Amino acid sequence: MLVSGRELTLAIACSSGGRVSLSASALGPGVLARGSYSCRDRQGSAQMSLAPAAASRLAALRSTIGRVALGFGNAERFSVTLETRPTAPIDWSSGGMECSVLAPYEAYLVAPDFTVTPPAIIDVRPWVAWYTSANGWRWLGTTGVNQSSWYRWYATPGGTATWVTPNGALNPWTWAPVRVRAGLQIHAIAVFELIYWYAHPRYIWGYTPAQPTASAPTSTYCLFP
């Protein structure tokens, strides 16, 4: 979510209107901005304004993770990225999504072997973004639709040390199986969010390649007819 000066706009997929509040521990305690939204054709948007001190901290960090609460009463909560300028995703060359090795409609996802100089603790959150012509883009995480867990690892210049077995072999993190319904013409792309915990947290995200079959050249996405 791009913040221009102090102002930001949150686009929302919704079924009814409500209130929205924003917090981000790196920018200050408690709720940093509030707003409201109405819903039309299952879409809405909320305009909010950060306090000057929070906006100044974000300008120094350039990006950070925030939390958004939507609705009335028992609000739904989501993680968002706040940034002062757009950040293009990168492409990780290792890891990736195997489309059909386990079975024709069972994919599995292997995390890239993250390398970091200097060594650092990293928090990583995996997603599978999938597209159909009927529903557009949707997001599947390790805990459900629009929900995914953060995994904490220790990355070094030689790779992710957390994955190294006592015998020195590499055993990377894997999410499997990811089952897909047939007949929907689904396109699926693997995405990883990553926070580097240096003096100031640094957030990036990127795609991982997909293999249509075990022997096929690397592709951008998996297609499930």
DSSP-assigned letter for residue 81: E
SS3 161: helix
Q: In what order do the strands lie in the sheet with 28-37?
A: 28-37, 18-24, 63-71, 76-83
Angle, alpha carbons 8-12-18 (nearest 5°): 95
- In this prediction, residue 86 carries a pLDDT of 59
- In this prediction, residue 151 carries a pLDDT of 95
* Whole-angstrom distance, CA of residue 172 vs CA of residue 139: 23
* Nearest residue to 96 via CA among 115, 109, 83, 82: 109
- In this prediction, residue 199 carries a pLDDT of 61
* Nearest residue to 119 via CA among 154, 156, 86: 156
- In this prediction, residue 74 carries a pLDDT of 67
* Whole-angstrom distance, CA of residue 114 vs CA of residue 173: 11
Query: Do residues 100 and 107 lie in contact, with contact meaning Cβ atoms separated by under 8 Å?
Result: yes
- In this prediction, residue 88 carries a pLDDT of 63
CA distances, 81 to each of 72, 176, 179, 193, 202 (Å): 23, 27, 28, 10, 11
Query: Do residues 20 and 80 lie in contact, with contact meaning Cβ atoms separated by under 8 Å?
Result: no
- In this prediction, residue 112 carries a pLDDT of 92
* Whole-angstrom distance, CA of residue 126 vs CA of residue 152: 12
Average pLDDT by stretches of 10, the chain with 225 residues: 83 82 89 88 85 83 83 74 72 84 87 89 92 84 89 92 92 92 90 80 82 64 88
- In this prediction, residue 110 carries a pLDDT of 93
What is the token pair recorded at 7? 């102002």
